[in-house]
Amino acid sequence: MIRSATAKPMDLGAIESDLRSLGGPLKGKGAGEVTDSGEKSEFLSLLKEGIKDVNKNMQESDKASMDLATGKSSNIHETMLSVAKAELGLNMLVQMRNKAIEAYQDVMRMQV
C-alpha cells in the first residue's frame, strides 16, 4: 500500500479533545492526575505516545515509498517492511479506537 506524498499527519490535538469529550463524568482528568484509588492514570499519555509512534511510522513509510518511486532508493525489501509496519500500527490503532467506542457505548446503555 503506497500512499501519496500529500498525506497529512494525524492531528493529536483533535484526537485528545475527542478522547476528553468521551470522558463524561471523568472530563478534565488528564494523564498523571491522581484518581480515586490514589494511582496515577497514565492511559492518556500512553495513548498519545502510541499515536505519535504510529504517525512516525506512517511518515517513514511515505518517505521510503517516495524514495523507491523516484529512484533514490532501490531497496524494495526495506520499503515493504516499512509499509507493512505502518499498516499494522494503523490497523491496531483503529481497532483500539473501535473497542474504546464500543466500551463507551456499553456504559451509556447501562441502566442505573
Please give the C-alpha separations between residue 64 and each of 40, 43, 58, 75, in angstroms, as whole numbers: 39, 31, 10, 9
The pLDDT value recorded for residue 10 is 60
The pLDDT value recorded for residue 105 is 94
The string of pLDDT tens digits covering residues 75-110 is: 899 999 999 999 999 999 999 999 999 999 999 999
User: What is the value of pTM for the model shown?
Assistant: 0.61
The pLDDT value recorded for residue 23 is 58
Q: Where in the chain are the domains?
A: 12-109
Residue with cell string 491496531? 92
Q: Each residue of 103-112: b (16+ CB within 10 Å) or e?
A: eeeeeeeeee
Question: CB atoms < 10 A from the CB of 31, how many?
Answer: 15
Q: Are 9 and 59 in contact (CB under 8 A)?
A: yes
The string of pLDDT tens digits covering residues 4-61 is: 444 556 666 666 666 666 655 444 444 445 454 434 568 788 888 999 999 999 999 9
